């Protein structure tokens, strides 16, 4: 069975989950890997590619907006304030101050703020700015940097982005595997009061499949912010439980 067929069944036809259970373990592993990579693509690659295309690539960025950037002996300098949003994280470079003011971080989100001597990672929620990390620039860069040095870093930047893409995939697997395990435990307890007799491994597969639509809706919402995440998660939870229940009961019907 092709991945596309499994995807359609997982999203829209829980009564056919029993057909996927008949496939090999390798087939399910392949389904999981492709799914989490697609989620990473939606939430990271597409927005990231749009941002990079928007400023014309890193070389153009360094040649124009950061042309005058210099970092010498632990002190950074740039002739103007620079701001850029990358995948929901706002990068601010303001070397006119020793520390970037919280006034520049009013909008909700994550910030990486670079001043003349410090780099701060902060989170802003409803106007309240909380520092997550605060370091001296020298702790990160013990060597001098200018525009030409930044251009030399471009391959390393793309390597970092590729690693981040893979790490997001691992994160998605861990997150949804945990949810599947939790739901499988509940269904395993409930089977004492119901007529189905199914292995725990099969319950896990069904519960993972049942989350598929929720996974993609959450990923799309994360990328374009259609609705508040808690609403999407709540609706997704009820839908997932319904899909998993139908999937489990379908195995009873097929065994009769």
Given this model, what pLDDT does residue 179 score? 93
Is 137 strand, coil or helix?
A: helix
pLDDT value of residue 195: 64
Whole-number Å distance between alpha carbons of 27 and 65 = 48
Q: How far apart are CA 88 and CA 222, in angstroms?
A: 9
Could you give the angle at the alpha carbon of 240 between the alpha carbons of 193 and 204, nearest 5°? Answer: 65
Residue spans of alpha helices (H) in the chain:
3-12, 17-21, 25-40, 46-54, 58-63, 137-140, 147-152, 154-190, 200-210, 212-224, 229-255
pLDDT beneath 50: ranges in the chain: none
Nearest one of 61, 50, 56, 108 to 83, comparing CA atoms: 61
- State the Cα–Cα distance between residues 168 and 218, nearest whole angstrom: 14
User: By C-alpha distance, which of 199, 195, 244, 235 is closest to 217?
Assistant: 235
Indicate yes or no: pTM above 0.75: yes
Nearest to 216 by CA among 236, 241, 243, 230: 236
Residue 120 CB: number of other CB atoms within 10 A?
A: 20
Which of 230, 140, 214 minimizes the C-alpha distance to 180? Answer: 214
Phi and psi angles of residue 199, each rounded to the nearest 5 degrees, phi first: -65, 155
Length of the chain: 256
Q: What is the pLDDT of residue 193?
A: 61
């Amino acid at each position: 069975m092709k991945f596309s067929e499994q995807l359609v069944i997982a999203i829209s036809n829980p009564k056919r989950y029993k057909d996927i259970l008949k496939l090999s373990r390798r087939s399910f592993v392949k389904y999981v890997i492709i799914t989490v990579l697609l989620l990473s693509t939606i939430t990271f690659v597409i927005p990231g590619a749009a941002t990079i295309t928007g400023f014309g690539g890193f070389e153009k960025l360094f040649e124009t907006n950061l042309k005058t950037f210099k970092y010498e002996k632990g002190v950074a300098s740039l002739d103007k304030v620079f701001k850029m949003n990358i995948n929901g994280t706002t990068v601010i470079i303001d070397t006119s101050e020793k520390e970037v003011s919280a006034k520049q971080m009013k909008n909700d989100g994550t910030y990486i703020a670079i001043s003349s001597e410090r780099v701060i990672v902060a989170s802003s929620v409803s106007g309240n700015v909380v520092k997550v990390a605060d370091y001296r620039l020298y702790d990160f860069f013990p060597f001098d940097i200018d525009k030409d040095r930044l251009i030399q870093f471009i391959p390393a930047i793309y390597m970092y982005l590729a690693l981040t893409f893979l790490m997001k995939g691992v994160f998605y697997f861990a997150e949804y595997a945990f949810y599947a395990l939790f739901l499988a435990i509940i269904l395993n307890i409930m089977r004492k009061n119901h007529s189905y007799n199914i292995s725990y491994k099969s319950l896990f597969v069904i519960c993972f499949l049942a989350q598929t639509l929720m996974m993609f809706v959450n990923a799309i919402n994360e990328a374009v912010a259609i609705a508040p995440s808690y609403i999407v998660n709540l609706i997704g939870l009820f839908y997932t439980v319904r899909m998993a229940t139908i999937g489990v009961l379908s195995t009873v019907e097929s065994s009769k």
